[in-house]
Structure 1
Amino acid sequence: MRKQWKRIMLIAVLLICLPAAAGCRDTKVSDPDETPEQGIQEPEGQTGGTLHVMTNRVDLIESGVMGKYAKRFEQENPGVKVEFEGFTDYTNDIMVRLSTREIGDVLLLPVSIANKDLPSYFEPLGPSMFTHVRFPDFKSYHGVRYGIATGSSTIGIVYNKKSFAKAGIREVPHTLDAFYEACAKLKAAGMIPLYMNYGAKWPLQQWGENMVNYMSGSGDALNNMVNVDEPFRLNNSWGQAVSIAKTLINRGYVEDHLFSNTWEISKSKLASGEAAMYFLGNWAIQQVIDAGADPEDIGFFPFPYDNGKQRYAALTPDWFIGVSKFSANKELARKWIEFYVKESGYVNDSGFLPVDATQQTNLPQFQEFLSYEPVFVENKQQTDEFVEIANKAGISFWSGDYIQELIAAPDLGKAFQDLNRRWKQARKDSKI
């Protein structure tokens, strides 16, 4: 427990130090205001050597898929060796590595870093990389881009059609009440209605910031939080989203042994029909199929978060990828990113929607999703003000940590009061 507490405190200190990380290390970094003009030119770098790539896709490293991408790249660039380092808790672990500047050559951009600090850690990416690419300016500062999306996705219910048939469910639920009724039928038929992956934590972001940022029809729901002292309330989207998750757990509609990280196991359970549903992005579809499911048995529909007729759905970028400012092989790192996002097959292999806006997906499950006529809400980049307040409040958005605590709280109202107290103080300290 003491080690865990020390780790939490270390991450908290790093988050506080992040906007001026150079000051935390006595090492000079470039002035963000000066870097853009200097960095647009493509620097000459090595064309050979080892390229160190840091990623959250431990599963693709272990399955050999990443190795296949690397082999193709190495064949196209003789003398190059690509090595991967995977993190199962990338959101938190990468912050520790960022503070030491031991971040390899290519890495996913941390979600907790403000755009104004990107020039201190990442190299600019040339304009040619962003032709027809979605979300081009999400990771930019003063007109210079530092990260490109690795994929695009929406969020909904990934389900096993055979499980639904076994439980006597003839059509997907279109309202929240119908969704609860379907869960009850699935449980009565001996299946896990919805595998929440509570123990893995990161999937819980669906029940917090991800749902909140689209269910009201505004992609700026999170950014608008900077204007109020008490954004976490029982009678708004935060209360609605977390309450649904708590209801599912209280009624026994999710997996047992909640505190165990059974992410890999859950995919097999959904593939076999032992579990019936996920609430995740469309990227999870391919992972369930890879776990043994017949593609025709897996479907996808918008999450019915209320009993209304209008259904919103998110259109979001996945992780952004960039070049480390401390890389000795920057030109080659840029080549890898271009290859990885546009040529390797990663987008299709992982079940993402195309990053290139001119391309269409042939994913049949996404066509089913579209048949329910959701209104897509394109996600907006979180402002530096939002990131600053979140960091000062110690709320680790997109990690699932605090959502796990909210779901477990005996009194959600009191739990929200604590978050609001921290948020209000952070706004005061940030003078926003």
Structure 2
Amino acid sequence: MRRYGIAGTALALLLALAGCGGGDEEGGSDGAISGEITVLTQRTDIVNTVLQEYKKKFETKYPGTTVKFEAITDYEGEVRIRMNTKEYGDVLLIPNSVTDDLLSTFFEPLGTIDELKDRYRFVRNEKVLDGKVYGLAITGNAQGFVYNKKVWQQAGITAPPRTPAEFLAALTAIRDRTDAIPLYTNYKDAWPLSQWEGLRGVVSGDPDAAIKLARDDAPWAPGREHHVVDSLLFDIVQQGLTEPDPTTTNWEQSKGMIGTGKVATMMLGSWAIVQMQGAATDKADIGYLPFPSQVNGKFHTVIAGDYKNAININSRNKATARAWIDWFTNESNYAVDQGGISPVISQAMPTTLADLTAANTEFIELSPPPKGEEGLADRIGNQAEIALGDGKYRQRIVDAARGAKKETRDEIFADLNRKWSDAKSKVK
């Protein structure tokens, strides 16, 4: 199981489906918390274990209720198709391909930003439309590098690198002093390279980073965040600090490779920590590093919500569906148990992020965009055929850095800036 990244490519389908929405005004059990609900989930790995325990606890708290799970392997693909009908469960995770302007077509609002912002994280600018919140995160993630502490220690590195140059020096020491691959790109699957896009705001420590990105004519100009991030990726590959043949990487195998010390480092959201610990000889070997950049002497990480639980606007039992979402968010402890950041503000950061805390890392959330600029940077990227969130443009960077394409870093960045600027002039 992995956390899926930024939006898929089925927007056209969903736009075509928008006309089939519209709420069913029949509330389940005339507003009472009772009866059966169907909950769609992507967690095929825990549907018969952890989720069954949740079911028992919820049904005990609310006698007369029944929770039925549907675990879906190809969650994004299948749910998009099911949203062509009214039958897409009572509670579901909002697919990444549902853009914010379509939220009210398919989902019931859970409350306003003002009503929920003091209690829950990730509600100020995620799955929000016209001041209304349509989903609550099942967990949250920070951004940085998963690493094998034992390997880094064997290479003599005892403190988080503070600059890209220090990070390169650390990976070089790992190559020279250990048998581990310093950094594993997981190039073949492409999506792991999209994780580098989560570093918006991390380099600058600026909550307005995404807003500024959408207004920038040249994001790959020297000094800009994308220049810093993608230059580091290029340099790591060019200096021979990654797997010998990135076209043969394997995501599932990579978990065991970092867990047993065959790989030292991966750029992944913090959602991956628990999975890597599960594949480790000793889970204490797996830690999490901040990105090697400081502002005023401090590291930064951006925290954001993962998939969001939402209510099907066509559900005939919205009261029980809402009770399930509230219980899952506030009482199940799912986020903490999975090593993630709780969406409940009052809950502490998870122990999986202890390395970030020890490094005095500042946790920030990106600012909500001004009205009319929601998702603007990603729309510009899509128009430019750069697709910031799918990892493929970073495959181009890896290919050039390893000599598989005859392009220099500066040539790639100049081309990306040109495409971005042209697209920006066309996207409103």
Structure 1 match to 2:215: 227
Does the residue aligned with 1:173 lie in a helix, a strand or coil? coil
CA distance in 1, matches of 2:30, 2:240: 57
Structure 2 match to 1:7: none
CA distance in 2, matches of 1:329, 1:401: 41
- Whether contact under 8 Å (1:323, 1:333) holds in the other structure is yes
CA distance in 2, matches of 1:95, 1:396: 20
CA RMSD after TM alignment: 3.6
Structure 2 match to 1:195: 184
From 313, 326, 341, give the equivalent of 1:338. 326
From 356, 364, 367, give the equivalent of 1:377. 364
- Whether contact under 8 Å (1:73, 1:336) holds in the other structure is yes
Structure 2 match to 1:400: 391
| 1:57-72 correspondence to structure 2 within 5 Å | 57-61=43-47, 64-72=49-57
Does the residue aligned with 1:199 lie in a helix, a strand or coil? helix
Within the alignment, does 1:115 sit opposite 2:100 as a pair?
yes
Query: TM-score, length-normalised on structure 2?
Result: 0.79
Are the structure 2 counterparts of residues 82 and 292 from structure 1 closer, same or farther at C-alpha, using a change threshold of 3 Å?
A: farther
Deviation at 1:264, TM superposition (A): 2.6
Query: TM-score, length-normalised on structure 1?
Result: 0.79
- Whether contact under 8 Å (1:115, 1:141) holds in the other structure is yes
| 1:23-422 correspondence to structure 2 within 5 Å | 24-25=16-17, 27-30=19-22, 44=31, 47-55=34-42, 57-61=43-47, 64-76=49-61, 78=64, 80-87=66-73, 90=76, 98=83, 103-126=88-111, 132-138=119-125, 139-188=127-176, 189-207=178-196, 209-233=197-221, 235-260=223-248, 262-305=250-293, 309-361=297-349, 363=351, 365-381=352-368, 383-384=373-374, 386=376, 387-409=378-400, 410=405, 411=407, 412-416=409-413, 419-420=416-417, 422=419
Does the residue aligned with 2:341 lie in a helix, a strand or coil? coil
CA distance in 2, matches of 1:260, 1:93: 28
Does the residue aligned with 1:215 lie in a helix, a strand or coil? coil
Deviation at 1:350, TM superposition (A): 1.2
- Whether contact under 8 Å (2:100, 2:128) holds in the other structure is yes
Does the residue aligned with 2:189 lie in a helix, a strand or coil? coil
CA distance in 2, matches of 1:80, 1:393: 47
Percent of aligned pairs with the same amino acid: 29
Aligned partner letter, 2:391: G
Within the alignment, does 1:15 sit opposite 2:11 as a pair?
yes
CA distance in 2, matches of 1:286, 1:136: 25
Deviation at 1:252, TM superposition (A): 3.1
Deviation at 1:399, TM superposition (A): 3.2
CA distance in 2, matches of 1:302, 1:313: 7
- Whether contact under 8 Å (2:171, 2:183) holds in the other structure is yes
- Whether contact under 8 Å (2:194, 2:388) holds in the other structure is yes
Aligned partner letter, 2:92: L
CA distance in 2, matches of 1:180, 1:270: 18
- Whether contact under 8 Å (1:390, 1:397) holds in the other structure is yes
CA distance in 2, matches of 1:337, 1:330: 10
Are the structure 2 counterparts of residues 282 and 43 from structure 1 closer, same or farther at C-alpha, using a change threshold of 3 Å?
A: farther
Question: What CA deviation, in whole Å up to 9, does each residue of 1:99-155 have, x standing for no partner?
Answer: 666643333324454433210111111467766211223222222211112223322
